[in-house]
């Protein structure tokens, strides 16, 4: 018996991540498709394509992997590894989703993408997990439990006051 551990609703259907490392796309119109990853998903992020709908998803996994999946083909189109720590949060760093900001259980904050130097860049390390990441202006807003941190891209405290 498989169990749904993560899900994401889009205008065109539902993406579910199962406990056996399968990612299932259930479109409103069409046939259900799936792909199996190397590890169980820990977080999902939808990327909006040029037609204004989610056409790719980014899946962070429990072993530090970041998988880009095309919804139309349900194939892994790219994969990055940021370490061995569970991925806790994902954030697109641009509208096109060319690079993704990644927060890990061990406090590591990374940028991944085809245009990123060496494909993976360790930006800085926090003193705890990055539960949520958001880019506002030139600053990173990071949620750690009940605490919100506003930092620059190098991890130093921003001059902006929360």
For 42-68, the pLDDT digits (tens) are: 999 999 999 999 999 999 999 999 999
Residues contacting 101, CB < 8 A, separation 6+: 90, 91, 92, 93, 109, 110, 111, 123, 133, 135, 140
Q: Does the pLDDT value for residue 75 go beyond 50?
A: yes
What is the DSSP pairing of strand 108-113 with strand 120-125?
Answer: antiparallel
CA 2 to chain centre: 23
**Per-residue tokens: 93:** 């760093």
Average per-residue pLDDT for the chain: 92
For 80-116, the pLDDT digits (tens) are: 999 999 999 999 987 667 899 999 999 999 999 998 8
pTM, two decimals, is: 0.92
Q: Are 48 and 56 in contact (CB under 8 A)?
A: no
Q: In terms of CATH, what superfamily is 4-151?
A: YVTN repeat-like/Quinoprotein amine dehydrogenase (2.130.10.10)
Q: Are 40 and 17 in contact (CB under 8 A)?
A: yes
Q: What is the mean pLDDT of residues 112-121?
A: 92
């Amino acid at each position: 018996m498989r169990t749904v551990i993560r899900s994401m609703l889009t205008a065109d259907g539902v993406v579910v991540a199962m406990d056996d490392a399968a990612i299932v796309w259930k479109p409103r119109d069409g046939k259900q498709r799936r792909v199996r990853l190397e590890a169980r998903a820990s977080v999902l992020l939808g990327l909006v394509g040029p037609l204004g709908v989610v056409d790719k998803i980014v899946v962070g996994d429990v072993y530090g992997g970041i998988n880009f999946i095309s919804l139309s083909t349900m194939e892994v189109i790219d994969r990055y590894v940021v370490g061995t720590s569970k991925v806790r949060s994902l954030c697109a760093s641009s509208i096109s989703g060319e690079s993704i900001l990644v927060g890990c259980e061990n406090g590591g904050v990374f940028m991944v993408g085809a245009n990123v130097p060496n494909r993976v860049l360790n930006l800085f390390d926090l003193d705890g997990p990055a539960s949520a990441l958001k880019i506002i202006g030139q600053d990173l807003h990071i949620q750690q439990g009940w605490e919100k941190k506003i930092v620059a891209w190098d991890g130093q405290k921003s001059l902006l006051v929360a």
